[in-house]
Amino acid sequence: MAYKELATKKPFIVNKNLGSPVEVEPEELTQTNADGLPVVIPTQKQKYDFDRKGWLLIPNILSGAEIVEMREFCERLNAEPDSIPEPQRCALGGPLQRLADHPVVVGFLNEFLAYPPAASEDCYGFRLEETEMIFGVEDKKVKNQFTSQKGNGLFRLPGDSHIYRCVPGRGWSGLTRAIWELSEVNAETNSFQFITGSHKAAYTAPQAVHNLNSPLWDTYECPPGSLFLLTESITQMHGQATSNSTSIDRMSVSNLYNTVASRWSNWMPHPELLEAMPSKRQTLFRETYAGGNVINGDFGNRTSAYPMQI
């Protein structure tokens, strides 16, 4: 049986002034990244899945050549950091910098995080809060190294940053994480676990969350070059690599994003690294405020979408 496509209506998002609606759509925001590549708009299914689950896995985004190049940089940084200029010794160094505003990430964050008045073709409507590289395999046998945290993002106050908001037709994630997997990930090498849908939970978590083996906990498996996106308001649990762990089978880059008007940490890239970035990529690290925080944009009209003359 053939079904008609479900009708969709434009969501009503209240703007800054007099209850007027936000008129600009996510796909009308920043349309290219700092490398001039067109952003990738998420599909309806991807938006639906992220909103209902609190996470989204997109496999096989990076090419084989990109994976090799990025792994080589990570291995050098891990084993021979002195061989890399000091400003580059971080998860934004070398080829890894391209992940910060990858077209798939920009398109996704335009939908779930960007503040439309603060976005233009010369700047992003969101910030990069912090970034880190993950090496090795965490030891799941050392259970006291695991801590369950977060969740219930639908009911948190805005200053918390670990929030999630939604109205019919639109979801919004405060702190949002993008994890790039540069190696194959399976249940044995992935100690990061989460409770699907807990970003919208209305109840206090049960005692079962303290049991690492509880069926409440999910994880993910994927080939190298995949992207895992999640709202930081989801209940999650992850461990730290043990001191005797010498394996670097697991290699990933984790980037945490926030709204332009909020800041959770005080991390910033090395000033020389920041200065060398393309100008649009630099806007990921601009000052934290909302009013007029846009480059070559139209903040006034985007916050005041109502007739100025009567």
Dump pLDDT digits (tens) for 294-309. 999 888 888 875 555 5
Residue 153's Cβ-side half-sphere holds a number of Cα atoms within 13 Å equal to: 31
Q: Identify whether 206 is part of a domain.
A: yes
Q: Identify whether 306 is part of a domain.
A: no
Identify whether the C-beta of residue 131 lies closer than 8 Å to the C-beta of residue 91.
yes
User: What's 102's domain CATH number?
Assistant: 2.60.120.620
Q: What is the pTM of this model?
A: 0.92
Confidence of residue 310 (pLDDT cuts 50, 70, 90): very low
Q: Identify whether 93 is part of a domain.
A: yes
Q: How many domains does the chain have?
A: 1
Compute the average pLDDT of residues 63-75.
97
Residue 99's nearest CA partner among 292, 248, 260, 284 is 284
Q: Identify whether 121 is part of a domain.
A: yes
Read off the pLDDT of residues 122-146 as tens digits, 9 standing for 90 and up.
Answer: 999 999 999 999 887 655 554 445 5
Q: Identify whether 20 is part of a domain.
A: no
Kindly state the tokens that stand for 173: 């994630």
Question: Is residue 188 predicted with pLDDT exceeding 90?
Answer: no
CA-CA-CA-CA torsion sign (6, 166, 181, 66) = positive
Q: Identify whether 15 is part of a domain.
A: no
Which pLDDT value is given to residue 244? 45
Cα 242 off chain centre by = 26
When the pLDDT of each residue in the chain is averaged and rounded to a whole number, the result is 89
Which pLDDT value is given to residue 240? 56
Q: Identify whether 8 is part of a domain.
A: no
Q: Identify whether 19 is part of a domain.
A: no
Range of the domain at 132: 32-296
Read off the pLDDT of residues 27-37 as tens digits, 9 standing for 90 and up.
Answer: 999 999 999 99
Instruction: Give the separation between CA 165 and CA 156, rounded to whole angstroms.
Output: 9
Which pLDDT value is given to residue 278? 98
